[in-house]
Amino acid sequence: MTTASASVTDRIEKTILLNAPRSRVWKAIGDAAEFGTWFGIAFEGPFIAGRPLRGRITFPPEYANVSFDILVERVEPGRLLSFRWHPGGVDPAIDYSKEPSTLVTFTLEDAPEGTRLTVVESGFDALPEARRADAFRLNEKGWGQQMVNVERHVAKG
């Protein structure tokens, strides 16, 4: 079961109930290599709070090998992972580092049927007006797909 909500412009929130123990879901979220498997990124290292992390997009094919940069904010094993990124930052001709970033937070909670995973991305209102609506629209759709991806990934074991 997936639920979704979004403020008008600044925040996307998706929640899914995963039929798996929190330890399994945390491995899928907190391990950068495993995260990349379902998310479509080949990261160059682990998630470490306070550190930037680079990766390469592996899917979809039109973005294959495009650089993907995040700044890991918090890692609370078994409970929370958060990072900052530049949503939709796939055009190599644009220097996204000059723009504000959005904050993505994954939170895990025990539930009677398994683990409740909530993903929140916030900060869209601070993005440049020319990119704001598209970034929000694409990520609203993208997070819905990523919830399906993580559900499939966790179900495989």
**136 has pLDDT over 60:** yes
Give the Å distances, CA to CA, from 1 to 16, 86, 144, 151.
Answer: 6, 29, 12, 10
Please, is 83 exposed, middle or buried when counting C-beta atoms within 10 Å of its C-beta (0-12, 13-18, 19+)? Answer: buried
Number of structural domains, the chain?
Answer: 1
CATH number at residue 132: 3.30.530.20
For 43, the domain range is 2-155
Give the tokens for residue 90.
Answer: 């796939």
Give the tokens for residue 152.
Answer: 């499939």
Radius of gyration over every alpha carbon of the chain, rounded to an integer in angstroms: 15
Specify the pLDDT at position 1. Answer: 56
Task: Supply the pTM of this predicted model.
Answer: 0.93
Instruction: Look at residues 156, 155, 144, 153 and name the one whose alpha carbon lies nearest to residue 16.
Output: 144
**3 has pLDDT over 60:** no
